Amino acid sequence: MEQYSTPSDLTIDEKATTVDSILRYRAERPTLPLFRKRSGSHWVTVTAKHFADEVDAVAKGLIASGVNPGDRVAILSGTRYEWTVLDYAIWRAGATTVAIYETSAPDQVQWILEDSGTTLLFVENHAQHTRHIKVIDEAPALKETLLIDEHALPTLTKRGAKVGDDELDQRHANALSSDAATLIYTSGTTGRPKGVVLTHANFLAETAATRDAVGAGLAEGKSTLLFLPLAHVFARVVAVGCVENAVILGHTNDIPNLIEDLGEFKPNYVLSVPRVFEKVYNSAKQKAYDGGKGKIFDRAADTAIEYSKSLDAGGPGLGLKLKHALFDRLVYGKLRAALGDNCEGAISGGAPLGARLGHFFRGVGIPVYEGYGLSETTAAVTANNETDQQVGSVGRPVPGVTVAIADDGEVLLQGPVVFGGYWKNQQATDESIKDGWFHTGDIGKLDNGFLHITGRKKELIVTAGGKNVSPAQLEDAIRAHPLVSQCLVVGDNKPFIAALITLDVEALPGWLERHHLPADTALADVAKNESLLAEIDAAVKEANTKVSKAEAIKKFSILDTDFSIETGELTPTLKLKRNVIHDAHKEAIADLYT
């Protein structure tokens, strides 16, 4: 069994918790800036003392509300500063945070509340509370629900005014690194979600390992704006990692105005999932085409990719340098400005990014360091960085982690960041952890220690002819077209590979104008337009050049609707829920084979 390890001498004290850092900062460096939070139209700095005092006040309110050590307290909210305050306050009180996506369906919320035995629930606003009121009222262990937008934190602060510091200190003294810090429920693409139990030791090992692996991105005084959902392990580790390493953190959930927020906040690093980087690239390309500068953008993109590749092969020649400098003035500088003009790099996780985008952004001057991990591994187990990068890979193991490739190609993992099991689900734990190895379900390969993820075991398509096809590579290539929103490759037990494709409605207005079509043309009519079909057909043929003939897409269908989180067809991190899509569009799939 091929394997690769990165050594580490890190040890986590049995009494260490995630709360230690904020208490240390308050005592030793009270004016240290830890956060910037929006106040009206401005971003104001939050010091270590202010944050720790706020956490203590809310934690006292939790204690006054009857929260005991080990109790589960749930947060159902979008990404915001209060989420992180509550998270640390729950830990300060010795309890365990249960993370719930704001986009979760009522039946998912019901299962999480019941399975976790949540006793206190925080909901962001009245609309969310109304949506879930029935399951909230029926949750067997739930004693109280508080709304963040309706003064939950001030209410707790007032409620806990008579709780003494000695109670907080005693709970902290009794806490162990092996205590459960959080339950993060898997997205549940098949079956009921499972509660991943992550301990304080898992978080501390992860933040130390990623600090050593990523380097400059987690250097004290740097900044990042967090817009991923905090119910996801990636965003959660970003938040804890920023606090542990004194990186200034901002929060926003205003995705439609994200570019404006980035421009105001001016982060040093952007942390996101691949679909966001795809959207940045596709939007820039479509805007260029809409403005009659499509050929310039294409040449600029090709030059950026060529320039990036040259960095791994002795560096660019004079001609390439001159071309790169020209396009830097015409194109690349505008892309950097869109991210706040202060961005030194980006970190991508949650799904494969792909070499195409990796080389493009590095060539533009915004290197994207791709990593890999799962909820069960407290996020990243491998990572690229500025001194050790192989574009197209997800990097080498972070310190303390061993990656192995099983005989069937499955990626296996060991290390202090790997969880110990699922909440009250020994069967699932035994199925995933065997002989000390966590079985990820991902298929991959090692190249000089760099891990390449090539697909998911459960996503492998086996055609009627017995050909194994991993859909991710084809889907990634087709999504590169600016008119494409999503792509689902199908063909399990079928005679050939096919695809369902959805259109990006944000890219359509300019395309309609260029093709002299009414702005209100129905999406169903656009999907049948011969010119559009020809463009998508070209994108499919280009994707087919990356695979063998037996793996190539023979037919495709353009849907008149998009996949979304709201319909349950995408996870909150924009991954395809294949079984849901297959069921929702079974007629369209059947039509591909008639």
* pLDDT recorded at residue 263: 84
What CA dihedral angle connects 255, 273, 250 and 42, to 10 degrees?
-30
Residue 179 has pLDDT above 90, yes or no: yes
Instruction: Give the residue from 408, 435, 456 where a domain finishes.
Output: 456
Selection from 182, 200, 37 nearest residue 100 by Cα? 182
Q: Structural domain of residue 478, as residue ranges?
A: 461-592
Residue range 381-393: average pLDDT?
A: 91
User: In this structure, what token pair is assigned to residue 508?
Assistant: 């359509």
From the number of C-beta atoms within 10 Å of its C-beta (0-12, 13-18, 19+), residue 256 rates as exposed
Residues 382 and 400 in one domain: yes
Query: Is residue 218 one of the residues assigned to a domain?
Result: no
Residues 438 and 486 in one domain: no
CATH number (domain holding residue 93): 3.40.50.12780
pLDDT winner (highest mean) among 91-95, 451-455, 473-477: 91-95
Residues 249 and 111 in one domain: yes
Selection from 188, 213, 121, 256 nearest residue 415 by Cα? 213
Residue 189 has pLDDT above 60, yes or no: no
User: In this structure, what token pair is assigned to residue 192?
Assistant: 């009921």
Residues 285 and 419 in one domain: yes
Query: How many independent structural domains does the chain possess?
Result: 3
> How many CA atoms are closer than 13 Å to the CA of 425, on its beta-carbon side?
19
Query: Is residue 377 one of the residues assigned to a domain?
Result: yes
Residue 340: band (very low, low, confident or very high) from pLDDT cuts 50, 70, 90: confident
* pLDDT recorded at residue 594: 86
* pLDDT recorded at residue 140: 96
Residue range 158-183: average pLDDT?
A: 97
Q: Would you say 442 and 432 are in contact if contact means Cβ atoms under 8 Å apart?
A: no
Phi/psi of residue 186, nearest 5 degrees = -60, 160
Residue range 548-576: average pLDDT?
A: 89
Selection from 328, 324, 368 nearest residue 349 by Cα? 368
Selection from 378, 455, 387 nearest residue 420 by Cα? 378
What confidence tens digit (pLDDT) does each residue in 206-263 have?
999 988 887 777 789 999 999 999 999 999 999 999 999 999 999 999 887 887 888 8
d(Cα 63, Cα 51) in Å, to the nearest integer? Answer: 18
Residue 510 has pLDDT above 70, yes or no: yes
* 187-191: long-range contacts, CB 8 A cutoff, minimum separation 24: 187/571, 187/572, 187/575, 187/577, 188/108, 189/571, 189/577, 189/578, 189/579, 189/580, 190/458, 190/579
**Residue 574 neighbours by CB under 8 Å, 6+ apart:** 273, 275, 351, 565
Query: Is residue 213 one of the residues assigned to a domain?
Result: no
Query: Is residue 13 one of the residues assigned to a domain?
Result: no
**Of residues 97 and 354, which shows the higher confidence score?**
97
For the chain, give the mean pLDDT: 92
Phi/psi of residue 581, nearest 5 degrees = -65, -40
* pLDDT recorded at residue 191: 62
Residue 188: band (very low, low, confident or very high) from pLDDT cuts 50, 70, 90: low
What confidence tens digit (pLDDT) does each residue in 34-77 have?
999 998 878 999 999 999 999 999 999 999 999 999 999 999 99
Residue 351 has pLDDT above 80, yes or no: no
d(Cα 74, Cα 588) in Å, to the nearest integer? Answer: 39
Instruction: Give the residue from 431, 456, 481 where a domain finishes.
Output: 456
Residues 261 and 127 in one domain: yes
* pLDDT recorded at residue 222: 93
Residues 469 and 443 in one domain: no
Residues of the chain with pLDDT > 70, as a percent, come to 99
Residues 278 and 378 in one domain: yes
Query: Is residue 471 one of the residues assigned to a domain?
Result: yes
